[in-house]
Structure 1
Amino acid sequence: MGFSVAYETAELISPALQREMIAVTNELSSDRAWLSCEPPLLMNRGGILGGASKPNFSPHPDELAAAKAAGERDGTLSDLIQILCSVSSQFDVDWVISHDCSNGPLGCIRCGRCDPEVQDQCQVLSELAEELGGCDLDLDDL
């Protein structure tokens, strides 16, 4: 069982701009361990740049400790959204955000700013992750 937060550009993006956006996104993502959420991985989908990232509601405590000891920050859903906001601002590109349980888009990131609906949903998911963090639970077994 999986759950993903999806993101895609609101309009077609030229191949050259896609390459630039992917490079910047990778650079912004590189200083995190990404144990609590998959990093933003962008792909061309018929001229639309998009991807999907799964939050990890129960990262392994040993991996978290190793990342902390190595001085790496854990990548979270909030970090994912912040990176998309940065790319939106830098390239003047809007993102449409959804997740597996949404009926269509949750909202957008426009001019580097995230819609309140997206922020609210991400906050709820982050709180759920914190609550489940203390449990010995593997959601894939459900």
Structure 2
Amino acid sequence: MHSSLNGTNTLRSHVNVCLKKDTSKKTKTNIIEACTEFCALDGRAFDVTRGVGFQNLVKILVEVGQLASKSKLEVTDILPHPTTISKNISRFGSMDRNSYCYCSVALRYVTDDFQLFTFILGCFPYNAASHSAQHL
């Protein structure tokens, strides 16, 4: 209730609660399952969802989904072809490639029917004078 003691705080609190869109439990469960499947099927590290690039991608996809909620939009219609991505990657080439060093750990498994599975366990940046084993 508004009074001279709380000023507009009551209204501000009410607006903040009304504007906050709570994600349903079912939606969160679906997202967890999709992220788990993404990591498992594509051999991605579990913390890929913490990456700025991945979060920017999800943000754009959510915005597109909000705009296209009335139409029948297929996922394959909005995702770029790998060749398109490789052509656009050159804008990241302006960064000094020699200043970035990474060490990746991957687990590879071959099934009895010769199917290869690759699991990225981690990719870690490091600063080292050399890429030799003694510096890693």
Same fold (TM over 0.5): no
Rg (Cα) greater in structure: 2
Greater helix percent: which structure?
A: 2
Q: Which has the higher contact order (CA 8 A, sep 6+)?
A: 1
TM-score by length of 1: 0.28
